[in-house]
Structure 1
Amino acid sequence: MTDINKAIAFAKECLKWDDPLSVVTVYHPHVIIDQRNIERTFVPALVGSSLDGFLGKRFFIQINRGTTSLFKWRVMIGLQDISKSAARYDHAQAESDDLYDAIFDACVAAARLYGDTDY
């Protein structure tokens, strides 16, 4: 089960939401909403479109299973275009037993790592 705090950090740092909060609905145990813009919502277990919105054409994502342990997921995020002079060659990485936890951790790490560039 995804750590909801990681999903909230993803909404705040990667999607740039002002005031994300987790709520429980009839259909999903957790939905993340932006309290200042109620139209912004995502379900951590169905993160596809929100992830696409963060990655866009700026980042690539690589997901592997079983690299350090058979039951761990490893996620790496990096810049797609490293031809620019200020581009960084390092990548944001995360590992977890839960795939979405690893994705959220890697996205937050990428937002922090590349946040000071215009790519």
Structure 2
Amino acid sequence: MKEMMEKLDAIAKERMDFHLQEKLIERQAARRETGSILTEPQVYRRDKEEDEIVKILINYVSDAQQLPVLPIVGMGGLRKTTLAQMVFNDQRVIQHFDPKIWVCVSDNFEEKRLIKAC
């Protein structure tokens, strides 16, 4: 413990010798906007999920007044956006919905701002 304290004291002295100051920097996570174009060259093992979502959208949405929110949730890296792109570009969805729009929704969700952006 004494040896560790001596090392820490030496580091603190060097900081003073070089006139270094402590500064807290708040970093924001980089936000990336997504688009409707499927960017993955080939997607494996998502056909079943895509088919289920497409069937829900086509069978239970008869007009624009009944558009449901169908969340795709999970931790990062599970290819949720890729699955949404697959559904958006599915031929059955293209034939059923006209027009279609892709909106990138961030954590600071504001419905009015999103509607104006469209």
TM-score, normalization by structure 1: 0.20
Query: Which structure has greater strand proportion?
Result: 1
- Bigger fraction of residues in helix: 2
**Taking CA–CA contacts closer than 8 Å with sequence separation of 6 or more, which of the two structures ends up with the larger relative contact order?**
2
